């Protein structure tokens, strides 16, 4: 579908190659070649929005400092980071609600830094939807077109097309207060898209929805983006959401970009301990890069696929819990005692004490607390990162207690369930 | 440009609001005979001295304060009870109660005043008893203060987590104590607001008192009779004193609020 | 808990029956009886003689309401756009005059508006002709606006500050310039405040009797003065006074019913005062 549309636009070659490369990359994990091709292709694509050296402060506190970002036409880009990392600020700078203290915003090659929001060809979907409470669904969606003095006929056609797209046909004359959260969300999407923006900015739009609805909307947004070919810039703090929806993920912390890449890159090759920990679970150990393709950690030498760090360099070693295989203790180098086992449905989460450092393992095989087990790693499982300011802050599960609070939704759900039970009793 | 316009506009409106008050204050220090109110005859405190020697004014002030304290207290207690009752009612009775509560607020004051006057006069005629005075003033003031108390307590009751009261009982608190320990502190801000409103409304009321006071003087009624007869600069002095009192009270309240805010932020 | 709680409102119910419902019934009773207590329509019919008083009251009240709205809306809008600390100070400044006895404030205007009052003295000092201001309809409107404008500003302000900032941003985002944002979003969303402000100014303005007495001289008789005269004045006639009060109430209820139509029946929260 997408390919066809792009073909009709006469821009077949580049994006199609890109798509093919992406699918190839699914299979060629960690092959350097693909990285280079991707880079080249990105440069070939049109840059639609670029932020150059943006600095923003509130009350003397710097939120963004020298922030640079390029967004390419037709991409689904996600800004991912903990709250307060500056991702919403970056989004609002593009929308025009924030004038940066320094730096420039470009739309294609036009400098729009001082253009007010109503003159920008971008539209926003707000965190709490910001639908006009005094207008019904129809008039909300028609709002932008009426300002552009479109004919009522054209407005009617567009509104109904938009409503159909978000699966809300028949709701045109409902009041906003009569809609559920998910429905309001859909109207907000329809309202923004009816304006035919070049870029759609989404500010944590799914944050207020419950788990199930959220999953549905993720799929729907992705579908809409592919159908319309509009560039999406999505802000979220939910790593799973970011990984499953985006073409490109921008991981942010403290007003700076920590890493930009495809979801796969970000997961498999985190640049530093922050990224490794924020995206999924990670065991992060201190290591020494002996030479190219050889790293020493946990008291042993391992072969790995990383090179270019120099000889005898201190590094961080990341090992994803699902990559570790549980084996008999006498058949491997690393051994330890199981201190905790939690059943997670698909797998068990096992905490293993290896000479004082606690590892997390996700395995389909069950162990008992107190078991002495061995951990087996292949070179493919080991990822080496340069030391950074985040080294030593993450990746040890000594104080692990199910990472409470990190998944607030889950705990809320548990609470709701408890309440339900109480009622039954 | 826009900002300057806004500033000038705000300034002009406040000038309009404060010019008369300023005039009153300035002329309260005017040392001149009553012949002309607008000629400046030098600074003096004579009108203040005269004011505090005026037995009638002090008596009226005393009446006003007594009425305000009694009716504010009574309407707060009665109104808070009523609010709790209304809050636990079903839709229909609640709507009826709210309509009755809203009625005196929408109804022109003068109509409320004359209707109460008719009631008191008829009661005196039918049942005998003393003519209109402090008693009818108490009743009238409580009546027009009640809706304000209810309307400031009700929202607090609605905001309150309904599980709170149940939680207290769940933890072993008997119902009445649960009310005083949990519900009351929770709605206290609304009650205090209602009390303050009732107090100030009562002090300031002229129209309803005018029709229900008989021969009893309250401060507003006395002021009214002064403006009707020979106008004495004593009025200026009186206004200045009242204004100063209100200002000081407001500043104290504001300072306390600011402190509370700081505490809750910290 | 529930049944006990309901009982708590019993004293209030009794109180309001005696002091609100009963007096209203009495007004109705007096309006339809003569001095001897027998039924008559004469009082209601004779209210017609005073139609000029009614028209003048409604006209002056309406003018004062419109002027208050015109002056108050920009002020409320300016205040609502300030930062929180300044907003509090401004709101206090708007309310402060209200805490001063309104007889005294109106009296102050007498000092200002008199033929040899401050304004005229000032005019004379700069060589301009004196203007006769006191005892005119204009002075009455000025007194009404002065006394009741805070009742216009405060509900407008509270509605304007409650408007979700992101809704305004959404309008800008969809292409509305500042004029369009105001006309298409801010103004419609502030309608509940406009309605409650208009109600809170119009009702007391229409029924006032002191302002007209102090600033309007004898020539600007209003409904309030008429009622006052029948109960405590020279023309003592409570039956006629009740009839006038009844008509006044009906007029105000009709006016508010009309106002309510503008409101779509939604969002009465800001007003929250209508029946």
Domain of residue C196, CATH code? 1.10.3720.10
Claim to verify: residue A36 and residue A51 sit in the same structural domain: no
d(CA A200, CA A166): 15
CA distance to partner chain B, nearest, from residue C140 (Å) = 15
pLDDT mean across residues, chain B: 86
Residue C166 has pLDDT above 60, yes or no: yes
Find the Cα–Cα–Cα–Cα dihedral A57, A58, A62, A65, rounded to 10°.
Answer: -30
Say whether C6 and B85 touch across the interface (CB within 8 A). Answer: yes
Which pLDDT band, with edges at 50, 70 and 90, does C184 fall under? very high
Comparing C169 with B38, which gets the higher pLDDT?
C169
Structural domain contains residue C83: yes
Instruction: Please check whether residue A419 lies inside any domain of the structure.
Output: no
Residue A282 has pLDDT above 70, yes or no: yes
- Residues C169, A118: C-beta atoms closer than 8 Å: no
**pLDDT given at position C264:** 52
- Asked if B143 lies within 8 A of C242 by C-beta distance, the reply is no
Q: What is the mean pLDDT of residues A219-246?
A: 90
Confidence of residue B262 (pLDDT cuts 50, 70, 90): low
Report the pLDDT value the prediction gives residue B266, as an integer from 0 to 100. Answer: 44
Q: Closest to B114 (Cβ–Cβ): which among C99, C199, C241?
A: C241
Q: At what angle do helices C102-113 and C118-125 cross, to 10 degrees?
A: 30
Q: Which residue of C has its CA nearest to A142?
A: C174
Residues A284 and A219 in one domain: no
Is the pLDDT reported for residue A32 higher than 60? no
> Would the CB atoms of A124 and C180 count as touching at under 8 Å?
no
Q: Does a structural domain hold residue A386?
A: yes
Does B231 have pLDDT greater than 80? Answer: no
Q: Do B17 and C97 touch (CB under 8 A)?
A: yes
Sheet containing A372-376, strands listed edge to edge, beginning at the edge strand earlier in sequence:
A325-327, A372-376, A334-343, A348-354, A357-363
Q: Does residue B133 carry a pLDDT above 90?
A: no
Tell me, yes or no, whether A178 and A236 share the same domain. yes
In a domain, A417, yes or no: no
When scoring C171, C173, C178 by the number of chain A Cβ atoms within 10 A, the one with the most, hence best to mutate, is C173
Q: Is residue C38 part of a domain?
A: no
Q: Is the per-residue pLDDT at A131 higher than 60?
A: yes
Question: Do A296 and A227 belong together in one domain?
Answer: no
Please report the pLDDT score of residue A45 as a whole number. 63
User: What pLDDT is attached to residue B249?
Assistant: 80
List pLDDT tens digits, range B232-250. 778 788 888 888 887 888 7
Here the ipTM equals: 0.86
pLDDT at C115: 83
Please tell me which residue, B23 or C218, carries the higher pLDDT value: B23
Q: Do A303 and A204 belong together in one domain?
A: no
Calculate mean pLDDT across residues B23-31.
Answer: 84
Question: Residue A35 domain-assigned?
Answer: yes
The conformation of residue A381, written as its DSSP 8-state character, comes to: G
**Computed over its alpha carbons, how large is the radius of gyration of chain B?**
23
The pairing of beta strand A199-203 with beta strand A231-236: parallel
State the pLDDT confidence band at A35, using cuts at 50, 70 and 90: low
- Confidence class of residue C190 from pLDDT cuts 50, 70 and 90? very high
CB pair distance less than 8 Å for A195 and C185: no
Put simply, the answer to whether C169 touches A134 (Cβ < 8 Å) is no
Minimal C-alpha gap between A8 and chain C (Å): 28
Tell me the pLDDT tens digit for each residue of B213-223: 988 899 899 88
B131: tokens are: 């003519």
Tell me the range of A237-251, B120-134, C104-118 where mean pLDDT is highest: A237-251
* Torsion from C-alpha of C12, C15, C19, C24, nearest 10 degrees: 70
Which of A7-16, A135-144, C263-272 has the highest average model confidence (pLDDT)?
A135-144
Rounded average pLDDT over B83-105: 88
CATH number at A330 reads: 2.40.50.140
In a domain, C29, yes or no: no
Q: What is the pLDDT of residues A343-391, one digit of tens each?
A: 888 888 888 888 878 888 888 888 888 888 888 888 888 888 888 888 7
Among B14, B114, B222, B238, the strongest candidate for a mutation testing the C interface, having the largest count of C CBs within 10 A, is B114
Inter-chain residue contact C90 with B10, CB threshold 8 Å:
yes
What residue in A sits closest to C170 (Cα-Cα)? A130
**Would you state the pLDDT for residue A36?**
58
The answer, yes or no, to whether residue C213 has pLDDT greater than 60, is yes
Chain A residue nearest residue C185, CA to CA? A132
Q: Chain C: nearest CA to A7, how far in angstroms?
A: 30
C105 contacts B243? CB cut-off 8 A:
no
Residues A286, A258 share a domain: no
pLDDT at position C97 is 86
Rank A204-208, B64-68, B179-183, C219-223 by mean pLDDT and report only the highest: B64-68
The answer to the question of residue C142 being in a domain is yes
Check CB contact under 8 Å for C175 and A96.
no
C-alpha dist (Å) from residue B122 to A298, B137, C21, C34: 99, 15, 15, 15
Q: What is the DSSP letter of A175?
A: B
Parallel, antiparallel or unpaired: strands A294-297 and A283-291: antiparallel
Range of the domain at A127: 47-265
Q: What is the pLDDT of residue C180?
A: 93
Is the Cβ pair B235, C146 closer than 8 Å?
A: no
Same-domain pairing of A86 and A214: yes
Q: Are residues A286 and A351 in the same domain?
A: yes
Q: What CATH number has the domain bearing residue A253? A: 3.40.50.300
Task: Please list every residue in chain C whose beta carbon sits closer than 8 Å to the beta carbon of residue A116.
Answer: 172, 177
Q: What pLDDT shows up at residue B148?
A: 93
Residue A273 falls inside a structural domain: no
C140-150 in b/e form (b: 16+ CB < 10 A) is bbbbbbbbbbb
Provide the token pair at A151: 């004919």
For residue A171, being part of any structural domain is answered with yes
Please answer yes or no on whether C171 and A133 come within 8 Å at the CB atom. Answer: no
Q: C88 vs B117: CB contact, 8 Å cut-off?
A: no
**Residue contact B239–C101, C-beta within 8 A:** yes
Chain B neighbors (3+ CB pairs < 8 Å): C
Q: Are residues A287 and A241 in the same domain?
A: no
Residue of C nearest to A175 (CA): C266
Calculate helix-pair angle for C191-207, C137-162, nearest 10 degrees. Answer: 150
Q: What is the pLDDT of residue A331?
A: 80
Residue C71 is assigned to a structural domain of this protein: yes
Calculate mean pLDDT across residues C75-92. 90
Q: What percent of chain B has pLDDT over 70?
A: 93
Task: Considering only residues A90 and A39, tell me which one the structure prediction assigns the higher pLDDT.
Answer: A90
b/e sequence B196-232, b meaning 16+ C-beta within 10 Å? bbbbbbbbbbbbbbbbbbbebbbbbbbbbebbeeeeb
Please state the rounded mean pLDDT for residues B4-28. Answer: 91
CB-CB under 8 Å, C71 with B13: yes
Instruction: Give the pLDDT confidence score for residue A330 in this predicted structure.
Output: 82
Q: Give tens-digit pLDDT for A78-100.
A: 999 988 888 999 999 999 998 99
Region B113-126 average pLDDT: 92
Domains observed in chain B: 54-232 (1.10.3720.10)
- Does the pLDDT at position B93 exceed 70? yes
Kindly list the residues from chain A whose CB atom is less than 8 angstroms away from the CB atom of residue C265: none
Same domain for A124 and A59: yes
B residues 92-131 closer than 8 Å to C (CB): 97, 99-112, 114-119, 121-122
State which residue of chain B sits closest to C119, comparing Cα positions: B38
The domain total for chain A is 3
- pLDDT(B59) > 60: yes
Please state, rounded to an integer, the average pLDDT across all residues of chain A: 81
Q: State the sign of the Cα–Cα–Cα–Cα dihedral C197, C201, C202, C203.
A: positive
C152/A contact by beta carbon, under 8 A? no
Secondary structure (H, E, C), chain C: CHHHHHHHCHHHHHHHHHHHHHHHHHHHHHHCECCCCCECCHHHHHHHHHHHHHHHHHHHHHHHHHHHHHHHHHHHHHHHCCCHHHHHHHHHHHHHHHHCCHHHHHHHHHHHHCCCCHHHHHHHHCCCCCCCCCCCHHHHHHHHHHHHHHHHHHHHHHHHHHCCHHHHHHHHHCCCCHHHHHHHHHHHHCHHHHHHHHHHHHHHHHHCCHHHHHHCCCCCCCHHHHHHHHHHCCCCCHHHHHHHHHHHHHHHHHHHHHHHHCCCCCCCCCCCCCC
Q: Mind telling me how many Å the CA of A121 is from chain C's nearest CA?
A: 9
Of A2 and B234, which is predicted with more confidence?
B234
C partners (3+ CB pairs within 8 A) are: A, B
Size of interface A-C (CB pairs under 8 A): 72
Confidence of residue A17 (pLDDT cuts 50, 70, 90): very low
Average pLDDT over residues A31-60: 72
- Chain A residues with CB under 8 Å of C174 CB are 118, 123, 143-144, 147, 191-192, 195
Q: Does A320 share its domain with A355?
A: yes
Among A132-146, B252-266, C15-29, which is the least confidently predicted range? B252-266
What's the CA gap between A151 and A164, in Å, rounded?
20
Cα–Cα distance for residue pair A138/A129, rounded to 1 Å: 15
Question: What are the CA-CA distances from residue B102 to residues A265, B89, B128, C166, C194 (Å)?
Answer: 65, 17, 32, 34, 19
**Whether pLDDT at A41 is above 80:** no
In a domain, C113, yes or no: yes
Alpha carbon distance A237, A79 (integer Å): 8
Give the distance from residue B188's alpha carbon to the nearest chain C alpha carbon, in angstroms. 17
Residue A422 lies in a domain: no
State whether A217 and A288 are in the same domain.
no
A300 occurs within a structural domain: yes
Residue with tokens 């006469």, as numbered in its chain: A10
| Domains identified in chain C, total number | 1
Distance to chain C for B260, nearest Cα, Å: 15
Q: Reply yes or no on whether the pLDDT at C186 is more than 70.
A: yes
Residue C104 in any domain: the answer is yes
CA distance A334 to chain C (A): 55
Inter-chain contact C103–B224, Cβ cutoff 8 Å? yes
Of C166, C174, C184, the CB nearest to A195: C174
Q: Could you list the residue range(s) of the whole structural domain that residue C69 is in?
A: 50-261
């Amino acid at each position: 579908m997408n390919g066809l549309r792009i073909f009709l636009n006469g821009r077949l070659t580049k994006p199609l190659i890109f798509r093919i490369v992406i699918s190839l990359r699914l299979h060629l994990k960690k092959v350097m070649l693909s990285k280079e091709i991707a880079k080249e292709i990105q440069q070939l694509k049109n840059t639609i929005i670029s932020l150059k050296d943006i600095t923003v402060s509130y009350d003397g506190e710097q939120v963004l400092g020298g922030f640079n970002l390029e967004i390419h036409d037709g991409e689904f880009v996600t800004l991912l980071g903990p709250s307060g990392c500056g991702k919403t600020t970056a989004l609002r700078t593009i929308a025009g609600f924030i004038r940066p203290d320094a730096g420039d915003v470009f739309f294609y090659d036009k400098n729009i830094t001082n253009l007010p929001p109503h003159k920008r060809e971008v539209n926003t979907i707000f965190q709490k939807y910001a639908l006009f409470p005094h207008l019904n669904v129809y008039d909300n969606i028609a709002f932008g077109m009426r300002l552009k003095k479109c004919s009522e006929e054209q407005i009617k056609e567009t509104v109904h097309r938009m409503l159909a797209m978000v699966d809300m046909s028949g709701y045109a004359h409902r009041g906003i207060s009569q809609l559920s959260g998910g429905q309001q969300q859909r109207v907000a999407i329809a309202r923004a898209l009816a304006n035919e923006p070049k870029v759609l900015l989404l500010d944590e739009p799914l944050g207020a929805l419950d788990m199930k609805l959220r999953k549905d909307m993720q799929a729907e947004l992705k579908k809409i983006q592919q159908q319309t070919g509009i560039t999406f810039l999505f802000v979220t703090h939910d790593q799973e959401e970011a990984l499953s929806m985006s073409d490109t993920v921008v991981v942010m912390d403290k007003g700076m970009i920590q890493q930009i890449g495809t979801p796969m890159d970000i997961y498999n090759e985190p640049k530093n301990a922050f990224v490794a920990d924020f995206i999924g679970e990670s065991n992060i150990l201190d290591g020494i890069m002996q030479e190219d393709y050889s790293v020493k950690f946990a008291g042993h030498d391992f072969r790995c696929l990383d090179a270019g760090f120099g000889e005898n360099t201190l590094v961080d070693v990341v090992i994803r819990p699902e990559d570790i295989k549980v084996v008999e203790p006498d058949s491997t180098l690393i051994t330890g005692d199981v201190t905790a086992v939690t059943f997670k449905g698909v797998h068990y989460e096992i905490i293993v004490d290896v000479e004082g450092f606690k590892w997390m393992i996700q395995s389909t095989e069950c162990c008992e607390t107190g078991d002495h087990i061995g951990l087996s790693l292949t070179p493919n499982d080991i990822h080496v990162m340069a030391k950074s300011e985040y080294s030593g802050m993450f990746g040890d599960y000594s104080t692990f207690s199910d990472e409470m609070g990190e998944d607030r939704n889950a705990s809320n759900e548990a609470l709701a369930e408890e309440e339900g039970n109480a009622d039954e009793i | 440009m826009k900002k300057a316009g806004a500033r000038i506009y705000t300034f002009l409106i406040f000038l309009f609001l404060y010019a008369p008050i300023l005039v009153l204050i300035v002329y309260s220090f005017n040392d001149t005979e009553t012949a002309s109110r607008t000629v400046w005859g030098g600074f003096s405190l004579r009108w203040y001295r005269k004011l505090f020697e005026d037995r009638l004014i002090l008596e009226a002030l005393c009446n006003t304060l007594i009425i305000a304290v009694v009716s504010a207290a009574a309407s707060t207690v009665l109104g808070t009870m009523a609010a709790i009752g209304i809050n636990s009612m079903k839709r229909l009775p609640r709507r009826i109660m709210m309509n009755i509560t809203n009625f005196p607020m929408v109804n022109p004051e003068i109509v409320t005043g004359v209707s109460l006057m008719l009631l008191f006069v008829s009661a005196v005629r039918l049942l005998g008893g003393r003519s209109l005075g402090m008693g009818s003033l108490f009743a009238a003031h409580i009546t027009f203060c009640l809706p304000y108390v209810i309307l400031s307590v009700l929202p607090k009751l609605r905001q309150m987590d309904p599980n709170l009261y149940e939680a207290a009982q769940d933890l072993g608190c008997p119902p009445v104590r649960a009310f005083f320990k949990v519900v009351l502190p929770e709605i206290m801000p609304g009650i205090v607001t209602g009390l303050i409103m009732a107090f100030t409304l009562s002090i300031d009321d002229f129209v309803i008192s005018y029709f229900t006071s008989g021969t009893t003087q309250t401060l507003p009624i006395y002021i009214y009779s002064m403006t009707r007869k020979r106008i004495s600069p004593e009025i200026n002095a009186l206004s200045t004193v009242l204004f100063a009192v209100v200002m000081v009270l407001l500043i104290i309240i504001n300072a306390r609020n600011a402190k509370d805010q700081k505490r809750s932020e910290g | 808990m529930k049944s006990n709680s309901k009982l708590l409102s019993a004293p209030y119910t009794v109180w309001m029956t005696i002091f609100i419902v009963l007096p209203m019934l009495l007004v109705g009773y007096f309006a339809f009886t003569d001095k001897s207590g027998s039924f008559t329509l004469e009082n209601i019919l004779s209210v017609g003689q005073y139609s000029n008083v009614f028209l003048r009251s409604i006209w002056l009240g309406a003018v004062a309401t419109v002027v208050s709205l015109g002056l108050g809306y920009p002020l409320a809008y300016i205040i609502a756009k300030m930062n929180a600390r300044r907003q509090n100070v401004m709101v206090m400044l708007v309310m402060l005059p209200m805490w001063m006895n309104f007889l005294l404030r109106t009296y102050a205007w007498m000092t200002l508006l008199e033929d040899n009052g401050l304004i005229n003295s000032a005019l004379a000092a700069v060589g301009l002709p004196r203007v006769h201001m006191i005892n005119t309809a204009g002075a009455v409107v000025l007194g009404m606006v002065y006394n009741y404008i805070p009742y216009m500003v405060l509900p407008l302000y509270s509605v304007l500050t409650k408007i979700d900032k992101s809704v305004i941003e959404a309008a800008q985002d969809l292409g509305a310039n500042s004029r369009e944002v105001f006309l298409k979003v801010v103004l419609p969303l502030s309608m509940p405040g406009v309605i409650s402000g208009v109600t809170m100014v119009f009702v007391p303005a229409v029924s006032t009797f002191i302002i007209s007495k102090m600033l309007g001289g004898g020539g600007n008789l209003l409904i309030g003065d008429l009622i006052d005269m029948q109960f405590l004045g020279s023309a003592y006639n409570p039956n006629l006074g009740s009839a006038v009060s009844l008509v006044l109430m009906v007029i105000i209820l009709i006016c508010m019913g009309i106002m309510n139509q503008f409101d779509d029946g939604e969002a009465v929260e800001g007003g929250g005062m209508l029946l």
